[in-house]
Amino acid sequence: MLLAKCVLILVLQVLSCRGEFFSSTSGLEKLFETEVVLLAELQNYVNEINQHAGALQSEIDAIRVEHLNAADGIDDYLNNPVNAFRLIKRLHSDWETFEGSVKTDSSRSNYLDTMARLKENLSFPSQDDFVGSAIALTRLQQTYQLDVAELASGILNGVKYGTAMSWQDCFVLGQHLYALRDYNHTVPWLQQSMQLLGEQSYGSESASLDFMEAVVEYHREMGAHESALSLVNHVLSIEPDQRIHLLEARQQLEELITDGDKNGLLHLTARRPGDYHESREFRMYEQVCRGELAPLPSKQRSLRCRLRKSRLGYAPFKLEELHLDPLVVQLHQVIGSNDSESLQKSARPMIKRSTVYSLGGNGGSTAAAFRTSQGASFNYSKNAATKLLSHHVGDFSDLNMDYAEDLQVANYGIGGHYEPHWDSFPENHIYQEGDLHGNRIATGIYYLSDVEAGGGTAFPFLPLLVTPEKGSLLFWYNLHPSGDQDFRTKHAACPVLQGSKWIANVWIRERNQDNVRPCDLERGQEISLHYRDFD
């Protein structure tokens, strides 16, 4: 119990920063390796002393269970968002607690000196990683309407993937969401934390009840009167005589509930008008990700699957029409596993946080919260695999690949997503100096991995969800034949629920594509203008 208290006191301390990890599942392997080394050092320290060994050993055993669960498949383990959050949380907070627990011991100096040396060379998550992983869990919770109790139990969409979260994990997540002013998500995570605390062997001890009393104040400040009252009643049911002071709090809460009181942070911090995440368009995107919104059968009757001959002597393309106007197609089994894995291997040492073009229209780019992934760019001439990707897109589409941007290989992190956006540039876009290739006429997405759950490509206006299929190519045109933006092609990367998503983006510019897609004499963009400012 003493160590559990220490966790609560020190849980928000920040360790040294060694780069960004939450935005790519690839980087999580470094964190796992860090924890393996740290665990070994802590075990060495515990082996040297006998005092306090019981408390420390219990924490070691809990982490060992995590590592044993990961032994059968490290990728599956790290690709689970709950496991990833708990790994980051432990490295972000718990290991500082372990250090603190030995500072009063006479033999602590050797251990602390070793930890100081390790911190100079190992990878540690930053505050941004910790906050990013917390936000990712709530993003998954909201997008896929996941039950908090199931998510905390390691259950994602009804499937048990990983180890359950502890009451401390849930509390820390709730506490950070509170700090982020996300009170709607704070309440259920604090509720789950207190439920799990009550189920512990020490859940009825006075120290645990004291902590529950403190959490009551969180709920009261937020205006979650029912949650506060439930917790007060629980504490009083265990220690009615020792907690007489709570009787007044219970009466006040009952009166507030009866009066329908709406005071508190939950009611004072409603989303601001015009918040995109409250728009009809964003709700449609989430519905498409969940599979609740899909094309009508009448729209699908005219869709066909067929073989398309290769002009370059490759095997015929296995083409599936997903939408006709605008045209969206998926080509199956375009590249093999060896090429997919080769591209991932080439990208891993180079990937960094993905950016988006600045909305200011200055031609620059920046990282954004609505896109959490890491990527690396390659010229198509780099190796045989990149050349093959270029050849296949050009072969299938007849477009001139000399006017394609560099290939971008991307990996999506914990709950990795990219909110609805257009690949084509707006009319006021300022092109960088020397960029005379025009707008992005077409997009191709090579799926370099399967994704166990989530991670689909969603077109909210069509409405269409494309499931990642390793080796396939998704292709569509971003522009009308007139060169105007086709606003119906707004699309998004749904959050990755389970697994690791690797893709390769192909963006082709419009210059010298006239022979393939001649410009219409009439603009013909009226059909998509409705979706430009859709709400």
Whether 213 contacts 235, CB under 8 Å: yes
- Full-prediction pTM beyond 0.95? no
Q: Which CATH number fits domain 295-425+434-514+522-531: 2.60.120.620, 1.10.1200.10, 3.40.50.720, 2.60.15.10?
A: 2.60.120.620
Q: Which CATH class is domain 127-267?
A: mainly alpha
Residue 54 belongs to what H/E stretch? helix 53-71
pLDDT for residue 271? 59
Whether 451 contacts 281, CB under 8 Å: no
Task: Kindly write down the DSSP assignment for every residue of 64-131, as one continuous string.
Answer: HHHHHHHHT-HHHHHHSHHHHHHHHHIIIIIHHHHHHHHTTSTTHHHHHHHHHHHHTTS----HHHHH
pLDDT for residue 522? 80
Measured between alpha carbons, how far apart are the two ends of the chain, in Å? 52
The tens digit of pLDDT for each residue in 26-77 reads 778 888 999 999 999 998 888 877 667 777 788 899 999 999 989 888 988 9
pLDDT for residue 15? 32
* 388/391 Cα distance (integer angstroms): 5
pLDDT for residue 104? 67
pLDDT for residue 106? 62
* 67/80 Cα distance (integer angstroms): 14
Q: Which residues of the chain have pLDDT under 50?
A: 1-18
3-state secondary structure at position 505: strand
3-state secondary structure at position 384: helix
Q: Which pair of tokens denotes residue 317?
A: 């393309």
The whole-angstrom distance between residue 527's C-alpha and the CA centroid of its chain comes to 34
Whether 418 contacts 492, CB under 8 Å: yes
pLDDT for residue 272? 66
pLDDT for residue 38? 94
Q: Helix, strand, coil: what percent of the chain each, to 5?
A: 45, 15, 40
Residue 498 belongs to what H/E stretch? strand 496-498
Q: Which pair of tokens denotes residue 400?
A: 């001139």
Alpha carbon dihedral 11, 13, 17, 21, in 10-degree steps, equals 20
* 53/48 Cα distance (integer angstroms): 10
Whether 186 contacts 172, CB under 8 Å: no
3-state secondary structure at position 476: strand
